[in-house]
Chain A
Amino acid sequence: MEGMNNVSDETGTATKGAQVTEGKQWEPNIVAFLCRWCSYAGADLAGGSRIKYPPNVRIIRLPCSARIDPKLVWRALEQGADGVLVSGCHPGDCHYTSGNMYARRRMQMFYELLTFLGVEPGRIQMSWVSASEGQKWAQVVSSVTEDVRKLGPAKFV
């Protein structure tokens, strides 16, 4: 699977994942879509509190978990991510009142489609992290990283 996670092209885009060929251990590459009001702020709080967690997650900031299009999740997997994490405000606390409810429903339906397509359960995960939950963010990242590590590199694309 050496070629899988090494995506580099002539224009010099940074390579993704670790090169398995160079004797370095494979590290999961996880893309996280975070809502800016709760989860992103919670991740910032984890930073402010200097709580340590694995460096495998790359965060993309979005206004609301409702903005997370399943197509974005699919594109992430297509482009070499081994796992995807979607995180938003707790139910009832969405900054836009109900955006996270739409996100939850969409992701639920999308999981079923992905499972049908052969994506192992545990590669795509959803969490609710509020702006005051720095510790929880760190725990979520650690546990998702471990889950994806156990599943190994994503193979289906």
Chain B
Amino acid sequence: MARIGIFVCHCGTNIGATVDCERVAEEVAGLPGVVYSTAYKYMCSDPGQTLISKAIREHDLDRIVVAACSPSLHEPTYRAWLENEGLNPYMLEMANIREQCSWVHTDKEAATEKAIRLIDMARAKVAQAEPLHAMEIPVERRALIIGGGISGIQAAIDVGMAGYEAVIVEREPTIGGRMAQFDKTFPTLDCAACILTPKMVAVAQDKNVTIHTHAEVEEVSGYVGNFDVKIRLRARSVDADKCTGCGTCWQKCPTKVPSEFDQGLGPRKAIYIPFPQAVPRVPVIDREVCIHFRTGKCGICQKVCEQGAVDFEQEDIIIEEKFGAIIVATGFTNFDASAYGEYGGGKYENVITGLQFERMVNSSGPTDGHIVCPSDGREAKSVVFIQCVGSRDKSKGVAYCSRLCCMYTAKQALLFKEHVPDGEAYSFYMDIRAAGKGYEEFVRKAQEDYGVQYLRGRVSRVFEHDGQMVVRGADTLSGSQVEIKTDLVVLVTALIAREDAVDVARMLGIPYDQHHLFTEAHTKLAPVESVTRGIFLTGACQSPKDIPDTVATASAASAKTLALFNHDFITAEPLIACIEPSLCSGCMACSDSCPFGAIEESEWTDPSTRKKVKVARVVESVCHGCGNCVVTCRSGAPNIAGFSNEQIFEQVEVA
């Protein structure tokens, strides 16, 4: 006979102000199986724990209901306490009377009645609970890091430094990501390449880190501690073991195409490295533009290579590896400004993006650090920045603020004034967000020391007139319309999720939000963990962030990974399916409907006939506990621990 204790939490005023917790505790005391019921201000606190422990001992409770916040917050907390008291941690059910009751209803009477009902449902479910024992699973102490930008690089360094193996899989021919494209970084004006390249070299030389560039993760299966991953190593057409990075091949290559790294402002060859400090310094042949691959002719690169490293026959290789944890560091891309036709992005050559400006102002960029008008190559004497192109715009762009554009606009405007002291720089803004360390001071410096002119207002139109760009907008602080003739216009575009973010999320089985940014386990308290155990999120793929925050989340994700690796075994929730062989007819319909292939054929000796029969059996290490088999089976043979038929049907009875 169950002996149930019910603990109703006020959660300060979070629950207590709407739900009459004392009355609730009184009313539920009379429910079937309940031998003790009480209310307390903060059930999750130390005194709350003491209260529960005392009640368990004094009233000989064998299972409890905690009516409080969402189980996603404190279920593990209360489970741990039960274990401390010598009770099985799965003899617990939580009633969510906060997120799903007191916080969403205003009618106190209705909220109180609902709380009582929710507690009754939890009571009915826990009355049917059975003790469960967590499974131990071994951990493969290798981390997969998807993405080789500053985020992935930092994560790899941290994991490698702790003595564990890390593998970076980077899609581009080199690691470095977006940061390699930047010139100087705010607020210190450190040169991005100068601070990034030592890290790139460190991670390349780290004996614990393996880097695969020009490669992609194709398939992920398994679960925390035991992910099975297929990685496609795309053919570079160059043998990395023989190549010395001398550069003769790309010097001699006759084919020129716009460089992606330089955002179309300069050329690259068909055989190329994206930038001079590329790691590895091994070129790649772009087979779509290479003359040899298109027509069978040329082949100059192969002829001039003294090491014989060029290999036209090279093919993609697929490798399969096991990992214990996955760190997702896939980064971001920029909003396409052509959605704002009135700004002329994509229409006028002298209307450029922030990343293009960055490449121009960079001294090793396509214009040797000269800020020029792409239309005719003349030196730009004036520039107008239009902030929030795509950001903070529910109708045409994204609703959110991209967090770092105010800072990089100030930086770019400041650098422009440094390069062109007699030039003019303007920025149209809505608000200035400069919340980091030294950030506010930096923006002020741009305005006060470098004379960048800030205009608070939106731009209505950008057009060409007499060889110059004209920007029409509002200056709300002076209450006037303004028109600025300028050589260059920079559209400060929103930072958004990459085009294939949804494909990556589905491959990993992790959720994403309406902006295709990957969803964290808890917005406030678990920002680097995805909802799936063992998969961690860093950098901009979770939400736009600047370099310091990116590095911080990379180290945070590594810390979580290392916590996983620090044990020989980790425990897994035993909330999985099992099949009662005496009820099984061996039709295997469950196996067909299992999304993970976790059900196999097995033999069972029927004790009544002494005959061996074919039955289905759950492979415990593969079962994820979805419960599909339970519903598919016509005989009712499978059941699922923690959400068993007995438990849920009882819960529905009183709902």
- Asked if B100 is an interface residue, CB under 8 A from chain A, the answer is yes
Stretch at the interface among A88-96, A111-119, A120-128, A146-154: A88-96
Stretch at the interface among B114-122, B184-192, B613-621: B114-122
Minimum Cβ distance to chain B for residue A77 (Å): 10
> With A and B bound together, what is the CA distance between A78 and B72 in angstroms?
30
Specify which of B114, B120, B511, B632 is in contact with A37 (CB 8 Å cutoff): B511
* Residues in B neighbouring A48, C-beta threshold 8 A: 99, 103, 523
Given the contacts A66-B631, A102-B593, A55 and B105 also touching, CB distance less than 8 Å? yes
Contact present for B511 and A130 (CB under 8 Å): yes
Interface of A is mostly: loop
Encode contact with A along B612-647: 1 for CB under 8 Å, 0 otherwise: 000000000000111110111000000010110100
Minimum Cβ distance to chain B for residue A17 (Å): 10
Which among A52, A60, A92 has the highest number of chain B CB atoms within 10 Å?
A: A60
* Residues in A neighbouring B505, C-beta threshold 8 A: 93
- Asked if B654 is an interface residue, CB under 8 A from chain A, the answer is yes
* Residues in B neighbouring A131, C-beta threshold 8 A: 511, 513, 519, 531
Minimum Cβ distance to chain A for residue B595 (Å): 4
Contact present for A102 and B632 (CB under 8 Å): yes
Contact present for B627 and A58 (CB under 8 Å): no
> With A and B bound together, what is the CA distance between A130 and B652 in angstroms?
24
* Residues in B neighbouring A93, C-beta threshold 8 A: 505-506, 511-512
Contact present for B107 and A64 (CB under 8 Å): no
- Asked if A139 is an interface residue, CB under 8 A from chain B, the answer is no
Contact present for A12 and B511 (CB under 8 Å): no
Contact present for A31 and B519 (CB under 8 Å): no
Contact present for B103 and A92 (CB under 8 Å): no
* Residues in B neighbouring A92, C-beta threshold 8 A: 502, 506
Minimum Cβ distance to chain A for residue B441 (Å): 34
Instruction: Tell me the chain B residues, 526-582 only, with Cβ under 8 Å from chain A.
Output: 531-532, 575
Instruction: Tell me the chain B residues, 251-296 only, with Cβ under 8 Å from chain A.
Output: none
> With A and B bound together, what is the CA distance between A71 and B72 in angstroms?
27
* Residues in B neighbouring A133, C-beta threshold 8 A: 514
* Residues in B neighbouring A54, C-beta threshold 8 A: 105
Minimum Cβ distance to chain A for residue B644 (Å): 10
Given the contacts A12-B30, A52-B105, A44 and B628 also touching, CB distance less than 8 Å? no
* Residues in B neighbouring A95, C-beta threshold 8 A: 509, 511, 531-532, 626
Given the contacts A47-B104, A130-B511, A131-B519, A81 and B32 also touching, CB distance less than 8 Å? no
> With A and B bound together, what is the CA distance between A40 and B120 in angstroms?
19
> With A and B bound together, what is the CA distance between A97 and B103 in angstroms?
31
Contact present for B31 and A75 (CB under 8 Å): no
The size class of the interface chain B forms with chain A is: 35 or more
Residue of A nearest to B628 (CB): A66
Contact present for A47 and B70 (CB under 8 Å): yes
Specify which of B523, B596, B643, B651 is in contact with A96 (CB 8 Å cutoff): B596
- Asked if B340 is an interface residue, CB under 8 A from chain A, the answer is no
Given the contacts A14-B654, A98-B595, A66 and B626 also touching, CB distance less than 8 Å? yes
Residue of B nearest to A106 (CB): B631
Instruction: Tell me the chain B residues, 78-137 only, with Cβ under 8 Å from chain A.
Output: 96, 98-101, 103-107, 110-111, 113-114, 116-118, 120-121
Encode contact with B along A29-70: 1 for CB under 8 Å, 0 otherwise: 001000011101101101110111111001111111011111
Given the contacts A43-B99, A63-B626, A67-B627, A81 and B655 also touching, CB distance less than 8 Å? yes
Minimum Cβ distance to chain B for residue A144 (Å): 15
* Residues in B neighbouring A102, C-beta threshold 8 A: 593, 628, 631-632
Residue of B nearest to A60 (CB): B651
Minimum Cβ distance to chain B for residue A148 (Å): 14
Specify which of B30, B100, B114, B627 is in contact with A62 (CB 8 Å cutoff): B627
Residue of A nearest to B531 (CB): A37
- Asked if A72 is an interface residue, CB under 8 A from chain B, the answer is yes
Contact present for A50 and B652 (CB under 8 Å): no
> With A and B bound together, what is the CA distance between A102 and B590 in angstroms?
12
Specify which of A31, A62, A106, A130 is in contact with B655 (CB 8 Å cutoff): A31
Specify which of B100, B640, B648, B649 is in contact with A47 (CB 8 Å cutoff): B100
The size class of the interface chain A forms with chain B is: 35 or more
Encode contact with B along A1-31: 1 for CB under 8 Å, 0 otherwise: 0000000000111101000000000010001
Contact present for B625 and A63 (CB under 8 Å): yes
Contact present for B631 and A69 (CB under 8 Å): yes
- Asked if B27 is an interface residue, CB under 8 A from chain A, the answer is yes
Which among B118, B523, B532, B654 has the highest number of chain A CB atoms within 10 Å?
A: B654
Contact present for A14 and B655 (CB under 8 Å): no
Contact present for B71 and A61 (CB under 8 Å): yes
* Residues in A neighbouring B649, C-beta threshold 8 A: 72, 75
- Asked if B653 is an interface residue, CB under 8 A from chain A, the answer is yes
Residue of A nearest to B624 (CB): A96
Given the contacts A11-B32, A38-B511, A75-B652, A62 and B643 also touching, CB distance less than 8 Å? yes
Instruction: Tell me the chain B residues, 377-403 only, with Cβ under 8 Å from chain A.
Output: none
Minimum Cβ distance to chain A for residue B639 (Å): 11
* Residues in A neighbouring B98, C-beta threshold 8 A: 47
* Residues in B neighbouring A50, C-beta threshold 8 A: 103-104
Minimum Cβ distance to chain B for residue A143 (Å): 15
Given the contacts A81-B655, A97-B509, A132-B519, A52 and B626 also touching, CB distance less than 8 Å? no
Contact present for A14 and B70 (CB under 8 Å): no
Minimum Cβ distance to chain A for residue B463 (Å): 39
> With A and B bound together, what is the CA distance between A38 and B512 in angstroms?
10
Minimum Cβ distance to chain A for residue B300 (Å): 46
Contact present for A60 and B511 (CB under 8 Å): no
* Residues in B neighbouring A72, C-beta threshold 8 A: 648-649, 652
Contact present for B655 and A47 (CB under 8 Å): no
Minimum Cβ distance to chain A for residue B184 (Å): 36
Specify which of A11, A16, A37, A43 is in contact with B100 (CB 8 Å cutoff): A43
Specify which of A13, A47, A64, A94 is in contact with B103 (CB 8 Å cutoff): A47
* Residues in A neighbouring B519, C-beta threshold 8 A: 131-132
Given the contacts A47-B70, A63-B627, A63-B643, A14 and B120 also touching, CB distance less than 8 Å? yes
Contact present for B104 and A51 (CB under 8 Å): yes
> With A and B bound together, what is the CA distance between A16 and B653 in angstroms?
10
User: Which chain A residues have a beta carbon within 8 Å of chain B's beta carbons?
Assistant: 11-14, 16, 27, 31, 36-38, 40-41, 43-44, 46-48, 50-55, 58-64, 66-70, 72, 75-76, 79, 81, 89, 92-99, 102, 106, 130-133, 138
Q: Which 10 A-B pairs have CB atoms at the shortest separation, nearest pair first?
A: A47-B99, A67-B627, A96-B626, A66-B628, A132-B513, A64-B626, A47-B103, A55-B110, A44-B99, A97-B595
Q: What are 16 A-B pairs at a CB distance below 8 A?
A: A11-B32, A13-B31, A13-B32, A14-B27, A14-B654, A41-B531, A44-B70, A48-B103, A55-B110, A66-B631, A67-B626, A67-B631, A67-B640, A68-B631, A98-B595, A130-B513
